[in-house]
Amino acid sequence: MGNLSNLDPKRVFEIFEEICSVPRGSGDMQKIGDYCLEFADKNGLNAYKDEAGNIVIFKPASKGYENSDTVMLQGHMDIVCQKESGLEFDFKKDGITPRIEGDFIKASGTTLGADNGIAMAMIMAILEDKTICHPDIEAVFTVDEEIGLIGASKIDCSGLKSKKMINIDAEDPKTVTVSCAGGCDVEALIPIKKERKPGKCIKLVVKGLKGGHSGVEIDKGRANANVLAGRILNHLSFEENFEIISVNGGDKGNAITNRCEIEIFADEKITQPLKEYLEQIKCEISDREEGFDWEIEMSGGEFDVIALPETEKIVYMLSQVPDGVIKMSASIEGLVETSLNLGIVSTNDDNIGFHFLLRSNKRTALCALEEKLKTFFSLFGCNTKSYGAYYPWEFKSDSKLQEICKQAYKEKLGFTPEIVAIHAGLECGMFADKINDLDCVAIGPEIIDVHTTGEKLRISSVKDIFECVLEILKKCK
Residues known to be catalytic: 78, 145
- How far apart, in whole angstroms, are the C-alpha atoms of residue 197 and residue 308? 13
Burial label, 334 (beta-carbon count in 10 A; 0-12, 13-18, 19+): exposed
Burial label, 42 (beta-carbon count in 10 A; 0-12, 13-18, 19+): exposed
- How far apart, in whole angstroms, are the C-alpha atoms of residue 35 and residue 289? 47
Backbone torsions φ then ψ of 26, nearest 5 degrees: -50, 135
DSSP letter string, 263-317: EEE--GGGHHHHHHHHHHHHHHHTTT-TT-EEEEEEEEEEEEEE-HHHHHHHHHH
Residue pair 242/284 in contact (Cβ under 8 Å)? The answer is no
- How far apart, in whole angstroms, are the C-alpha atoms of residue 383 and residue 246? 19
Backbone torsions φ then ψ of 285, nearest 5 degrees: -105, 10
DSSP letter string, 184-237: EEEEEEEE--EEEEEEEEEEEEEE----EETTTSTTTTPPPHHHHHHHHHHHHH
Residue pair 387/183 in contact (Cβ under 8 Å)? The answer is no
Residue pair 434/155 in contact (Cβ under 8 Å)? The answer is yes
DSSP letter string, 335-356: -EEEEEEEEEEEE-SSEEEEEE
Task: For the beta carbon of residue 288, count every other beta carbon within 10 angstroms.
Answer: 13
